[in-house]
Amino acid sequence: MSNNALYFPNISVPSTVWTAQAILYWDKLVSIVPLDHLDNPERLSSNTRDLMTEGLVEPVMPSRYLYRIPEFDKRFIRYIESTMDRWRKSPRRFPGGNPPARIHAEKLGEIPDFLVDAGLARRSEWPWYEIEEPFAGYFMTYLATVLCALPEVGATPITDRLALAKPLGLTPAGARIDRGLHATKARQVILKALLPVPAGPLNIHKLVEFKQRHGHLLPQLRTKIELHSARIAAFASPEQRLLETEAFIADSQEQIDEITAAMELSFTRIILGKISPLLGAGLALSYGTDLANSGAAAGAALSLAGTIYEVVSSIRAGRPLDTKPLAYFAHGQRELAPARSFGKKAPG
């Protein structure tokens, strides 16, 4: 499983809750960026530029790789031709009403001429083409998936548009389980339930700081969630997928609550809450005649309590609960959305 994720279909990464969760879940996001955008960074959104500056998003330029992919153009053109044949035979015909999507020519290779000749695209100001939906979505899914398969990129394709997570192809309804889509849905539901982040513009500094402190927990956590998502995707029944995901979230939240309780054991609760009754019973005064006055006794008690606190703190720093993968979510629920109360029910 890859540690990084490639975002598509847009060049600029949106400043949304979905993006914040993706940044927190993956080691790094990769975005498909034409070379001329790197030469002219003002064409990117300010949010994307900031994420790149902080190392949270890494650009990948299609022009560096497409020439190495055997029959990249021809394979997609054959796919579009077969798709058009199916649509012509279907009473639905081509969907209408959706505005065309703008796609940079660097991503298209020899495909633009075919799409223009087929009436599925038109030339805009160079180097842009306007491509009709759903074919623009098909292409971006194709491009992202192919790039992710290259060892130099080595990422998992992710998108905030679930319709694009479907595998390429127009299979008859019920012909097969759409496992890729179901796994993506399961992952998103889990992150929404267990890793809430504030709505609004991304606080990039806070995301960087959080990952620096707790990022060591991510690899095992990601393995746990990806394995669950893959298992969920194998169920044919939507009801079973929902029940299994709800059970996973409830069990995870219960473990997170236990971890949070352990991490929140304070100085007062651990030390003063248990030592103070002993001090009140005269324990400190029994140490010797040099502690006979109350001021000396209080000073000794505080010194002892401080010493014990230092030792207990060092023990807590290495507590096994603090190193469990779900501790990442526990930290997230405490630090990223402190005003929210957390339940154990999965979203519907």
Q: What is the pLDDT of residue 130?
A: 94
Strand partners, 6: 30, 157
Q: What is the pLDDT of residue 322?
A: 61
The domain segmentation of the chain, as residue ranges, is 1-98+137-170, 177-348
CA distances from 82 to 17, 76, 168, 235 (A): 37, 10, 12, 30
Report whether 228 contacts 248 (CB < 8 A): yes
Report whether 55 contacts 29 (CB < 8 A): no
- Give the chain's mean pLDDT: 79
Model confidence pTM above 0.75 = yes
Q: Write the pLDDT tens digit of every residue in 249-298.
A: 999 999 999 888 877 764 444 444 444 444 444 444 344 444 445 455 44
Higher-confidence position of 306 and 82: 82
Name residues whose C-beta falls within 8 Å of residue 16's C-beta, 6 or more positions apart in sequence.
Answer: 160, 202
Q: Which parts of 56-200 fold into alpha helices (H)?
A: 72-89, 111-117, 135-149, 179-194
Report whether 190 contacts 229 (CB < 8 A): yes
Q: Write the pLDDT tens digit of every residue in 201-233.
A: 899 999 999 999 999 999 999 999 999 999 998
Q: 108: burial class by Cβ within 10 Å (0-12, 13-18, 19+)?
A: buried
Query: What is the maximum alpha-carbon separation in the chain?
Result: 101
Q: Comparing C-alpha atoms, which of 175, 305, 18 is closest to residue 10?
A: 18
**Cα three-residue angle 104-110-115, rounded to 5 degrees:** 75
Q: Write the pLDDT tens digit of every residue in 12-45.
A: 999 999 999 999 999 999 999 999 998 899 999 9
Higher-confidence position of 156 and 311: 156
Q: What is the pLDDT of residue 164?
A: 82
Q: What is the pLDDT of residue 87?
A: 62
**Which residues of the chain form beta strands (DSSP E)?**
4-7, 28-32, 57-60, 101-104, 121-123, 128-131, 155-158
Q: What is the pLDDT of residue 280?
A: 42
User: Binning pLDDT at 50, 70 and 90, where does residue 323 land?
Assistant: confident
